[in-house]
Amino acid sequence: MGPASYKIERSPQKDFEVSHWFDGFGETHRFQIIVNNGGKPKVIYTSRHQDDELTNTIRQSGTYSFITFAQKRDPCIGIFGKVMSFFERILTKPFANNVNVAIYPNMRIKSNQRGVLRGTPKHSSGVDSLWLTTDCSILKELDPLTLEPIGVEYQTALHPLLSGPLSCAHAMSDPITGDVYNYNLNFGRFATYRVFRVSASSGETESLAAIAGAGVEPAYLHSFFITADFVILCVWGARLDHCGFNIFLGWNVLDAINPFDPSKPVRWFVIDRKAGRGVVAEFQSPAAFCFHTVNAWQTVNAEGQIDIVCEYLEYQNLDILYEFYYYEIVSTSKQAVSRKGIDSHAALTKYCLSNIRGKILDRKVGDEIPHAKLVLQIPRAGELPTINPNFSMRESKFLYTVVNRGYSTFMDGILKVDTMNSTTIILGESGWSYSWGGNLHP
């Protein structure tokens, strides 16, 4: 799943172009591997574009009149017109939402709209449902056989407290229970991050913690962490202006993000996901930004307390957000060719959150927030990380990412990172191009 096309033909009128890669029109890909007894394996490939209603609307109007990540806007459109268009789309065109980042199979959702859960898988693959997610609080359901969009759910239908507009594209799931975890971000004088769980067995949605109060700012968070007992939400440095409401005024997320402030530390919140204790610990670390987390796991230290190690790809500023405009990455663009090989580089970073006591956090205003301990940094570690899924929630030796070596205008190599020996090796031939991370099948 990911962004595919970005142009819409409107002949004889001027063609429409999406500005930013994150707003590209989504496409889902499926590879079905069939192994016959005694015969050669056969691979069947299927794909489908997911934004027919959206592209048809744009083809007719010539404008992308919905909230996006970074679409350039016509300054002549008034604020009132933008807001009215937004709510009209929510009510009348739910399928026009561009949900294009991640895909989750067999996520059992029970909402106040449907109420009925799916039972035995209906398809030979064992996949009964497919759900798409993005960085807003909308989920789009696909037919597992045809990949056709068949339904849209808003998080508020899962639980009435999940009323905020933003969420995390990369929800996390427990590899044992199948429970799915995410957060919902609501705006206001103080931001409220509400961490929740969708039960794989019942489909019910439960709120685990509400993170709010002085010093808690709304931010663009694309991923987070999970361990055997905890959810770790990290508020990176992509903070939103004017309590987040500038998203509705500027009509996109990127223009509503404040310039990077190196004086504002990263805030870490540890949430108990087993015993219902809510937020049990809080930490801080130097200012940074992250797109993708890698992994997290628990250990027991010499004092018998729990330590959590969080592994992710860290940037020292927000420049990477502006490097995914199509004019920066499409090979036919003169600007992209002139900038070939010039981009931001992430460092594989590990922090340790020490002495997690498992008690409800009772931190008063003015109390010092403990610092997370930096364990490891490996520079130029690539992006779009993948690990062996068998090592989810425990330490993994190898990590695979994609890198830009300057052989193309985008990603052009696969990097294998040895996290224990701090070494890297390039896999693949020069000149290859990669648009997103690979899948690792153990």
Would you list which residues are annotated within the binding site for Fe cation?
170, 222, 292
- Are 340 and 390 within 8 A, CB to CB? no
Q: Report the binding-site residues.
A: 170, 222, 292
- Own/partner pairs for 60-67, CB < 8 Å, 24+ apart? 62/10, 62/13, 62/14, 62/16, 63/16, 64/16, 64/18, 64/23, 65/89, 66/96, 66/97, 66/98, 67/136, 67/165, 67/247, 67/248, 67/251, 67/252, 67/253
Burial bucket for residue 161 (CB in 10 Å: 0-12, 13-18, 19+): middle
Hey, what are 201's tokens? 């067995």
Tokens 């008034």 found at: 78
How far CA 225 is from CA of 55, 216, 231, 234, in Å, comes to 34, 18, 6, 8
**Residues facing residue 104 across a β-bridge:** 131
Residue 14 DSSP class = P
CA distance 184 to 207: 10
CA distance 398 to 358: 30
- Are 297 and 308 within 8 A, CB to CB? yes
Instruction: Indicate if the alpha-carbon torsion angle 25, 193, 387, 288 is positive or negative.
Output: positive
Computed over its alpha carbons, how large is the radius of gyration of the chain?
Answer: 22
Hey, what are 208's tokens? 């685990």
| Cβ neighbours around 83 below 10 Å, total | 13
Task: Give CA torsion, residues 93, 95, 97, 101, to 10 deg.
Answer: 170
How far CA 436 is from CA of 8, 330, 373, 383, 412, in Å, comes to 22, 15, 31, 9, 10
Hey, what are 298's tokens? 């628990």
